[in-house]
Chain A
Amino acid sequence: MTVEHVNGDQFPSGLRVLAVDDDPTCLLLLETLLRRCQYHVTTTSQAITALKLLRENKNKFDLVISDVHMPDMDGFKLLELVGLEMDLPVIMLSGNGDPKLVMKGITHGACDYLLKPVRIEELKNIWQHVVRRKKIDAKDQNNSDNQDKPHNGSGQAEGMGNSDQNGKLNKKRKDQNEDEDDEDDEDDHNHEDPTTQKKPRVVWSVELHRKFVAAVNQLGIDKAVPKKILDLMNVEKLTRENVASHLQKYRLYLKRISCVANQQANMVAALGSSDPSYLRMSSVNGLGNYHTVGGPGQFQNSTFRSFPASGMLGRLNAPAGLGMHGLPSSGMIPMRHAQNSDNTTNDQGKFHPALLPGSHSGNILQGMPTSLELDQLQLNKNITSISELPNTKDNTTFHVSSGFPDARIGFGRSTNPLLDVNNNPLFLEGHPQEAHSNKMFGNQSLMSLNSGSSSRLPDHGRCNDNWSSAVQSSGIQPNSFSLGGDYKQPTLHPGHLRDNLSTMALPIGNSPCDVSSLHPLSNRFQDPKADLQFQAVQDAPCRSNVMFSPLNSAVSINGDVGPLGQCLDTNKTFFHRSNEFDSLGQSNFVDHFSMKINEVQRSSMQASSNLKEGYLMGQQKTQGSYISTSVDSLEDLFMSSMVKEVRSYNLAFSSCQNAFINSFYTTLTIIVKNLLNLFNCLLLWFRTKRRKFSI
């Protein structure tokens, strides 16, 4: 509008300026000066009047010049409001040239900061701000259109970054203007171009702003990310970048307001909405901790310890400190959800939905570090398998049910575990006893898992099937799952199985999952197999890598990414695994392993269900008990039971429900992952922004 007009022959004359200053002398002077520059001037001595004028017709003015010191409203506040609502360039005017004030002006978004007495030379160049901004907006629009999608993921951070950069550029501009006025403006504005996302200027009408605020309040000020706000607002031709920069301004505005007592409630309210996610996180962490704390703790701890060393675990869950934690939490969740279902799948399924929606489809694996995905897959698998299993029991494992959010968080965490999945194998290795062996085992499983990310889920299902069947069968077979590497004892001992499982779970490091699985197992102890299964199951989610790894790894290690089903089918894989184990010293295990696989499966199914139940609740206790069992035996049992469970689990899982549950979980997982990512990005941005404005 004005651009075209201004770009005509009369450019830069005809620029419509609104001048605000409570000092009549200065106002008259300013008006005269502006008229001398052939601008159209409207003056008012009150900020409120100025806002009213601006709101009446957004397109009535091109530029606002405002004094800083005004009785009815602070100049900076006016600056913010104008920037938020009308997105017009605002020039600050003051008799005080203190750099701090100038900085403040820039942080509030002023285009320029002039000192009194105003010189006509300075005013002659203010049109540059208008043109520049229009140009930048136009470019931003184009860029944003092109880059909107790619930026979606990192967009928030980018948007924030851009805003920050804009702010920085403005600051630069202001400081330079202190001494040099015009020339610097152009330079500074030039900086702005490449860094900012150019968008066409969006006029934030009152309605638009109202929608924006409603969206922000709905999401919660901390969780409000441009993409979501944009979606909520549902306004055409509004880009994420528009929203991002507006959001930045709005945050500034809120900051100011937050100093006012009556505004604090809003902030609190806004912030409060974002708390739950944090709470969940913490709760999840708690879960994770639970795992580690639990019985297998010892076992796990050792493994965990090994992990941290590997560094992966640590990554898994900060709270847990060990990847395991994260996994367990996630695993816990699934387990919990499954609760009673003897089918670990049930538990896992539930968990998965939250966590693994993505994983189910293998997204998790794909989206996240493979290890993470694997975990997720496993989790998903576990979950699905769990879900499939009717939960009759305990819901101890079901703490998680409450933890869907936990699951979510756990998910995030589990994602870590996934990352650490790789570690998990290590984790397994971490098993005090056989760090190496475990590792190898675990690694392979992980690797296989990773590769088999997508296939994992199906495997998981299968595993679930296997597990359930295993559960049914009595055989405990806790094949010495000792991931620890004592795979030598293929026989699954029910008790051992549990122990093994728990230990397995622990070392497996899928962490939370495993741990939880271990615990529940111990609790449930109803079936040694169950324990195994439980563990297996639990592992599945988290450790699914691990748990499954016995089965899967057997499969996958060989490079069969294929789902557990493969395990079932291919004893060879197990054998391979055993080979690997051999390296671990588990040659015996393999033999037993294959034999026991069936048993394991059955028992695992049971165990998983049991695990689930007891998992959550008794994790701690069971873990303790687990720990007490000899690691070796546990490991062996565990492994064997795992294998069996996995197989049975797979079988069970592969039943019809798999598809549905998996997809469901996958979707959920994806969603959770995205949410977590968004959240993290937002946090980072927010912190950056705070740092920035606290200057």
Chain B
Amino acid sequence: MAAVAAGVGQQWVLVEMVQAFYEAPAYHLILEGILILWIIRLLFSKTYKLQERSDLTLKEKEELIEEWQPEPLVPPVPKDHPALNYNIVSGPPTHIITVNGKECINFASFNFLGLLNNEKVKSAAQASLKKYGVGTCGPRGFYGTFDVHLELEERLAKFMRTEEAIIYSYGFATIASAIPAYSKRGDIVFVDEAACFAIQKGLQASRSNIKLFKHNDMADLERLLKEQESEDQKNPRKARVTRRFIVVEGLYMNTGDICPLPELIKLKYKYKVRIFLEESLSFGVLGAHGRGITEHFGINIDDIDLISANMENSLASIGGFCCGRSFIIDHQRLSGQGYCFSASLPPLLAAAAIEALNIMEDNPGTQMVFKKISGLKVVGESFSPALHLQLEESWGSRENDVKLLKRVVDYCMNSGIALTQARYLEKEEKCLPPPSIRVVITVEQTEQELDRAASLLKEAAQSVLN
């Protein structure tokens, strides 16, 4: 019954249509007809390029290809470039080091706690070598996760008193992969001017807005934060999704001083910014047990969102780690580029790091203090293990300064103290530090050796600078 009615209804609509067709005025029909023809034409015509580029003939193109001369792949490097000729170290870079054939006392390697030559560390690494071989043959996701890695992560998390830790196989890649995992295009990062190169590369990879504040200047940082706040009030919707971060180092590699962490925490809660702390130099050095700058100032570690450090200084191994709450660290397991796309840390180095961590926990080291030298100024905190010696006043250009410092370094090396200039990539650094000699104080150095180094430097400075 319904079908019949539907059929009748349909027929009725068709009849109406045909009637309307006959009754329509002629111009209407013609217009419709033209439109239909136009649609058919458009459907079948070829798509065209928006920019008709070349009016060039094939011959002209070939001539252009013939004529084009590229630059050489790399420009030639002058033979006396200071960074070209490396010092060759024969044997292990321990307290007594053989550089370029001469035996010297080592004031240049970042072996703060002297664990490079420790027998217990070496035997732990040997045991691991006998069990696992050398390489891991895969990234963490594909059979490259060893029980040693899991153990090291647990130990680090326990030591630093955080929920979780994650290991990277290269110190530089640690902070350079951690920052872009959280901060993306459109986010804002406030970073100290004296931040190290790894942080700068991480920031570049993240494509966020970078705002530099003067080194350790909290007033400048507050000014930038206030400016950002007033920007936010103009556009609250955007502000609600823009993440903000402050990136600072515990002990700055380029200047040897520490950051004022308690004030930073206050600013964090006032302006709702997250803090990323880079502790490569301060891990193992600051704090009663070596837990870093948070222990030094007595701050609750959960107040810092992410702590990143490398294991290549105090722990005398290779690699780096990040620690913090699980909410933050777990994200890097899928989006940290240096973690997902790279082979994991060789197990022998992880075992060496675990043993070094055990030793560090049991014996917190004591620090020696470096004395004043005339002609050169000592840059850095008194308890910092990595100091810089800069010229009191510059002798014209950076090149001249570098040459002078090289002569000082050579004088010292010839007399049995191994030193090195701090190396930077001059064109790549955002805020290039002045040329300096890097001096590293370790627990293995005795009082006499420090005195000897200081007097030798004084002699060198006097002979070279006068």
A and B associate in one complex: no
- Which A residues are within 8 Å of any B CB, using their own CB? none
